[in-house]
Amino acid sequence: MKLLRFLAPLLLSSVQLLAIPAWSRMTGTSCNACHATPTWQLTTTGLEFLKNGHRMDATKVDPKDQKWDNYLSLVWKGRAYGDSLDSQRTGLATTQKPATNFEQHSFSLYTGGALSDRFSYFTELYLNENTGSTSGANVVQGDAARKKLAEAFIQYNQPISKDLFLAVRAGEILPGILHVFGVGARSAEQRAIVLNDPLAGSTNTYRPFSRQQGVDATLAGKHFEGALGVVNGSSTSVTNSIDADNHKDWYASFLYDFDAIHTGVGVFHYDGQYSNYATANDFSTALSFDNKFKKDGLLVRFVRDKFRVVGTYFMGEETMAPGTLISGLPVAKTKNVGFYGLVDYNFTDSFGIYARYDSLDPNKDVANNSTTMAMVGLNGMLYQSEKSGARWNFEYTEKMAYNHGNITTAGAEKFKDKRYFFQITWGF
């Protein structure tokens, strides 16, 4: 367990890509103890730390480590990017969107760790996050920025045997298997679209990366983790919203590791309901219909010292509004698919490369409605120490879709948008 006294892993932020230096101060080590720097996937030590509840030992804590500066970190992000929209697009955005932008993206607070031998906690609070909007209805809380509580939970660990314990979390949570397969600790800043984007044309805004309020329990062994959770299933378009219907969503996952460095395979299932009211999420207005939906995923990773290959494949089902017609025929349910595949390689502890390919099809039975994205990236450490650290990353993406293609409608012209993206993340 001495290895677990190293730097804590990347936490659960929607965009967080820097290890939290508070635990580094506790142990006097740098980022690469828990992360395969700089591409940032979690190492064996980091995965164990995360599983234990952001602590070194799942069932013990040293009182000498319980100092406030070992439980609190501040993280800052700055960006610059350039966009090139395909001429096949229509509308003013094609010609009037700024080609380049600077963005002070966020300033956030992270706090968490062991409270006692059994209890621990984690909280991620954005003091300021840029919305990416310039004006209009999308500007919230003033100055195109917002404050939000991204994730917050209490965790209790109950030992069962030497290599087996039960972890119970309550609060605003993310399924743990999704954190380690592309939502949290990851090479790229921009998440895979199958995890991050809703289905085009659907009123249901559920996305696998969504944090939701509820409780889950994970049986954690030496080579496996099995989890079951129950959550409100609130609309992900409203930060920290309480659900607008009485139905509770649930999810289950199982992950098995084949070796000590966590080459493994996992499965994930989500069963939910999104209620469509005359006014979105307002149960005082008329109920149009309930969208009972499902999402199933296969998740795989192959890990070696300098590189790793990670991929997911998701299949889903959506309930459509009564009377929905596709190609002139009534349709009660639709099926969607999506996947991503990523490979990264660390040349040194300070420089790495990665590439990823994404795909999301909101309805398999409709042509010309899918979105794909190809990405290549570089990342590196400006510096890392036991007190703080800074990381940079550069990404080039080409995102391809069809005009007006969505869950019910075949698209027209295919277009390709390009983006150059640079970010510096600093933490203390």
What confidence tens digit (pLDDT) does each residue in 343-390 have? Answer: 999 999 889 999 999 999 999 999 999 999 999 999 999 988 877 889
- The CATH number of the structural domain formed by 2-427 is 2.40.160.10
Residues of the chain with confidence (pLDDT) below 50: 1-18
Q: What is the pLDDT of residues 280-313, one digit of tens each?
A: 888 899 999 999 999 999 999 999 888 899 999 9
Instruction: Locate 72 and state its tokens.
Output: 């609190």
Q: Where are the domains of the chain?
A: 2-427
* pTM score of the predicted model: 0.90
Output the average pLDDT for the chain.
87
Contact 313, 296 (CB under 8 A): no
In the beta sheet, which residues pair with residue 397?
A: 375, 419
Alpha helices (runs of H) in 52-118, residue ranges in sequence order: 92-96
Which one, of 226, 181, 233, 240, lies nearest residue 207 by Cα? Answer: 233
Query: 48 — phi, psi (to 5°)?
Result: -65, -40
Residue 299 CB neighbours (<10 A)? 21
